[in-house]
Amino acid sequence: MKSDPGLYGYLPWDRRPEIRWPNGARVAVWVAPNIEFYELEPPVNPQRKPWPRPMPDVLGYATRDYGNRVGHMRMMRVLDQFGIRGSVSLSTAMLTHHPEIIDLVLERDWELFSHGIYNTRYTYGLSEDQERAMIVDAMQRISDYSGQHCDGYLAPALSHSEHTIDLFAEAGGSYTCDLFHDDQPTPVNTRSGRRFVSVPYSLELNDTIVYVVNKIEPRRYGEMICRAFDRLYAEGERSGTVMCIPLHAYQVGHPHRLAAFQRALDHVCSHEHVWLATGREIAHYYLEHYYDQAIATMREIEEATA
Amino acid sequence: MSLDEKFLSYEHLRHGMDHERYDWSMLERREPVTWPGRAPLALWINVCVEHFPLNPQSPGFKAPGNMTMPYPDLRHYTLRDYGNRVGIFRVLEALDGYGFHASFAVNGELVERYPYLTRRLAERGELLAHGWNMDCAHSSALDEDTERQWIRQTLAVLGRMSLKPIRGWLGPARSQSSRTPELLAEAGIQWCADWVNDELPFHFQTQSGALVNLPLSLELEDRFIINDNLHSETEYAEQLIDAADCLLAEGRERGGRLLALNLHPWVIGQPHRIGQLERVLEHLRDFGDQVWSAAPSEIIAAAGLALEGSSR
């Protein structure tokens, strides 16, 4: 085991290439609905139980299933209202179980990226070959169904190995959502040396973390989104920032949570200098315009302080 | 290091669900429901009337609200019992004040302990079986005979008090084992409320006959918001009001919706909280005939789902 994942160098906030997003936008806002399938009785990973109650955990399972049966339409209508295309963190088993939902999002030109096969199948304990097979399988399912190349990865249930990001880069991916170290994209070191980046995906604004872990009230979640946006928008005048709103239809799609979320998006979208982007668009824009400068800056800082 | 091949094989990967209990269906793709009087919103208020034993055994798992301190946990025992002595009467008065119906999900053991209370409730509304007591969570850790016995004795004692046969079931903490639905159907239960995966009733399969599942929202329940999420009573009321407004608007545009409110007198019946329930009820009452307050079996019937063995 390593004491540092070794995935990125130190790039201080006050010494970076100045980022300019398209059309003078100050902040790139992307919304990442997690569209997930949890199995009722998955094989039990030796390192992590899938459900808190003895299986079948009817309450846990039904809570997630609600997102697909009920919450999705509600969440999607709100995004439609503001012309936001989602970047879907996809349990790729959904392409088989519930393609009706995938068809709706593809009609809207949303991005699909990989969130593994099922959110009840973890990376823990897989050999490198097994993990590679799972990663490639999920990417292939996305391209077979949608014709889209899978550019991004959020490991299933945020379960990682030391090689997860190396393997995804080698399989042809260009960005990861698994790192929470920054408010701008950053270069990520992988063993193959491929050009690969992290796109900020906020855990703090992730509705499941907000509602289940931090037990925050729906109206306060709306305030948090507005406050985060206001700060990133102001700072983005100096250098473009990224704001991600990760969602789950089984959380934000509840009737007591929708209005507060809708008001928050209204606040965000009422500002002029906002780039409503997808994860892929942010990753590619950064790779093209700022990646090399960021690497050079890190090298300069390293040499100057060595 | 590697895992067995089963971790990378997906035997239930197919269109629809990964089990046989119900069909895959998105609520908005179904034929819209029309409630009586063309009300956009049906309201189901259910009150849980519960007994938490002082000496829990908790085979399987512990339902929320159970004892947590070393024996004898007088603090939690009496705080739960408060609901049956004081809280329930405050809740009934609040319901009367705004003219709303409620059903009552009652533990079997509570019937034996408090026949007076059970009789009062039976005269007011539909009774649901709520398991034997709150330490009897159903799970696959139980043997089948134990589970069958809990269900049978619960239905037997409740049936003696009820003016009508008991047809509905809410497991303690919405718990079910892999065989609970079969055991319920065998015992004459026609519908259960344990699966919170929808907002309208749907058909549910068992090997012993069909059931209906009428989802009783966890996320809008007093105990979940106040005890699990630690939100204030004011925030509880705000969340219910926001939910009612959202569902009512959808009901007007897209077909009947259901607001299912589950109450625990040991939570919401406290003097500092009951006023916030009244605030919610007042908000709902102000919608007039836009809200149809009904018993759960009426809601299932109005949604067009026939109950097995019923006359419909």
Give the count of beta carbons closer than 10 Å to the beta carbon of residue B278: 18
What average pLDDT does this structure show over B202-215? 97
Angular region, A90: left φ>0, alpha ψ -120 to 50, beta rest: beta
CB-side neighbour CA atoms (13 Å) of A272: 3
Question: How confident is the model over A139-195, as pLDDT tens digits?
Answer: 999 999 999 999 999 999 999 999 999 999 999 999 999 999 999 999 999 999 999
Q: What is the pLDDT of residue A9?
A: 93
For strands A241-248 and B202-204, give the pairing: unpaired
Q: Cβ contact (<8 Å) for B247 and A130?
A: no
pLDDT digits 0-9 by tens, B64-103: 999 999 999 999 999 999 999 999 999 999 999 999 999 9
How far B153 CA lies from chain A's nearest CA (Å)? 23
pLDDT at B311 over 80: no
Domains present along chain B, CATH in parentheses: 39-302 (3.20.20.370)
- Token pair, residue B244, equals 């009612």
Q: Is the peptide bond before B265 cis (omega within 30 degrees of 0)?
A: no
DSSP classification of residue B33: P
**Residue from A40, A53, A102 whose CB has the most chain B CBs within 10 Å, to mutate:** A53
Nearest CA in chain B to A128: B2
CA distance A82 to B258: 27
pLDDT at B307: 79
Question: Which residues in chain B touch residue A61, judged by CB atoms under 8 angstroms apart?
Answer: 197
C-alpha span between B210 and B101 (Å, rounded): 27
pLDDT of residue B308: 67
Which three-class secondary structure state does DSSP give residue B240?
helix
The minimum CA-CA distance between B98 and chain A, rounded to whole Å, is 22
**Burial annotation A1-33 (CB, 10 A radius, 16+ → b, else e):** eeeeeebbbebeeeebbebebeeebbbbbbbbb
pLDDT of residue B312: 32
Q: How far apart are CA A68 and CA A53, in angstroms?
A: 22
Q: If you ran DSSP here, which 8-state letter would residue B272 be given? A: T
On the CB side of A42, CA atoms within 13 Å amount to 22
End-to-end CA distance of chain A: 26
Band of residue B1 on the pLDDT scale cut at 50, 70, 90: confident
- Residues A93 and A297: their CA atoms lie apart, in Å, by 41
SS3 B191: strand
Q: If you count DSSP H runs as helices and E runs as strands, how many of each does chain B have, helices first? A: 11, 9
B140-178 pLDDT tens trace: 999 999 999 999 999 999 999 998 999 999 999 999 999
Q: Which one of B11, B19, B246 would you mutate to disrupt binding with A, by most A Cβ within 10 Å of its Cβ?
A: B246
| Token pair recorded at residue B164 | 């009508």
**Confidence (pLDDT) at B109:** 98
Q: What pLDDT tens digit does each residue of chain A (306 aa) get?
A: 999 999 999 999 999 999 999 999 999 999 999 999 999 999 999 999 999 999 999 999 999 999 999 999 999 999 999 999 999 999 999 999 999 999 999 999 999 999 999 999 999 999 999 999 999 999 999 999 999 999 999 999 999 999 999 999 999 999 999 999 999 999 999 999 999 999 999 999 999 999 999 999 999 999 999 999 999 999 999 999 999 999 999 999 999 999 999 999 999 999 999 999 999 999 999 999 999 999 999 999 999 988
Q: Cα separation of B64 and B49, whole Å?
A: 14
CA distance linking residue B225 with residue B206, whole number of Å: 32
Residue A188: left (phi > 0), alpha (psi -120 to 50), or beta?
beta
- Chain A partners within 8 Å of B43 (Cβ): none
The pLDDT assigned to B310 comes to 43
pLDDT score of A38: 98
* pLDDT at residue B309, rounded to an integer: 52
Answer for the pair B266, B227: CB distance below 8 angstroms, yes or no: no
Measured in angstroms, the CA of B233 and the nearest CA of chain A are apart by 12
User: Mind telling me how many Å the CA of B118 is from chain A's nearest CA?
Assistant: 28
Question: In A, residues 158-197, which contact B (CB 8 Å cutoff)?
Answer: none
Please determine, for residue B60, whether its predicted confidence score (pLDDT) is greater than 90: no
A70, closest residue in chain B (CA to CA): B27
Residue A275: strand pairing partners: A28
pLDDT of residue B306: 79
pLDDT tens, residue by residue, B29-44 = 999 999 999 999 999 9
d(CA B49, CA A125): 45
Q: What's the rounded mean pLDDT across residues B47-63?
A: 96
pLDDT score, position A44: 97
DSSP classification of residue B228: I
Give backbone dihedrals phi and psi of A7, rounded to 5 degrees, phi first. Answer: -90, -20
Instruction: Locate the domains of chain A by residue range.
Output: 22-305
User: What average pLDDT does the structure give for chain B?
Assistant: 96
Mean pLDDT of B251-274: 98
3-state secondary structure chain A: CCCCCCCCCCCCCCCCCCCCCHHHCCEEEEEEEEECCCCCCCCCECCECCCCCCCCCHHHHHHHHHHHHHHHHHHHHHHHHCCCCCEEEECCCHHHHCHHHHHHHHHCCCEEEECCCCCCCCCCCCCHHHHHHHHHHHHHHHHHHHCCCCCEECCHHHCCCCCHHHHHHHCCCCEECCCCCCCCCEECCCCCCCCCEECCCCCCCCHHHHHHHCCCCHHHHHHHHHHHHHHHHHHCCCCCEEEEEEEEHHHHCCCCCHHHHHHHHHHHHCCCCEEECCHHHHHHHHHHHCHHHHHHHHHHHHHHHC
Class of domain A22-305: alpha beta
| Beta pairing partners, A246 | A32
* Cβ-based contacts of A130 with chain B (< 8 Å): 2-3, 7-8
Percentage of chain B exceeding pLDDT 70: 98
CA A246 to chain centre: 6
ipTM > 0.85?
A: yes
Burial class from Cβ neighbours inside 10 Å (0-12, 13-18, 19+) for residue B19 reads middle
Contact by Cβ (8 Å): A215, B230:
yes
